[in-house]
Amino acid sequence: MKEAYLEHANITVSNPDATAAILCELFDWKIRWAGDSMDNGYTVHVGGENSYLAIYTNSQTRVSKNSDFKTIMNLNHLGIVVDDLAASEARVLAAGLKPHNHRHYQPGASFYFHTLDELEIEVISYR
């Protein structure tokens, strides 16, 4: 049996187009699809050839009051692997976002940043 892999994750944001645009800018991803979706919502699929994020919103979207590592069903952060950590950090800074929590460990290194909706992303390199 072939190993299963994660194809996509679906997350709710305030502005799917803006979130998708920044992810395309930072990670050279592409918009795979965009359009109307469930509950009179709107979704953008952004990613690479084999995986993507479904970035979703609707008219009833609200900010969670329980965004922490203690809340069940909470998305703590996304981990995105890149070849060149320094170049990725330069892109994050150029986009006006603030890298933090730099870590070096075996077998790699990483840093974190937050999107405008406070989605935490860890950028990782194993080189």
What pLDDT was estimated at residue 127? 85
Dig out the tokens for 122 from the structure: 């860890």
What pLDDT was estimated at residue 48? 95
Q: Domain segments of the chain: what residues?
A: 1-60, 75-127
User: Quick check: do 1-60 and 75-127 share a fold?
Assistant: yes
3-class state of residue 4 by DSSP: coil
What pLDDT was estimated at residue 67? 65
- Is the separation of the CB atoms in 97 and 78 below 8 Å? no
Backbone angles phi, psi at 77, to 5 degrees: -170, 165
Q: What is the CATH number of domain 1-60?
A: 3.10.180.10
Strands 52-57 and 8-12 turn out to be parallel
Along the chain (127 residues), what's the average pLDDT of each consecutive run of 10 residues? 94 95 97 96 96 95 73 86 97 98 95 94 96
**Dist CA 37 CA 40 (whole Å):** 6
**Dist CA 59 CA 83 (whole Å):** 38
Give the predicted TM-score (pTM) of the model: 0.90
Residues 75-127, CATH architecture = Roll (3.10)
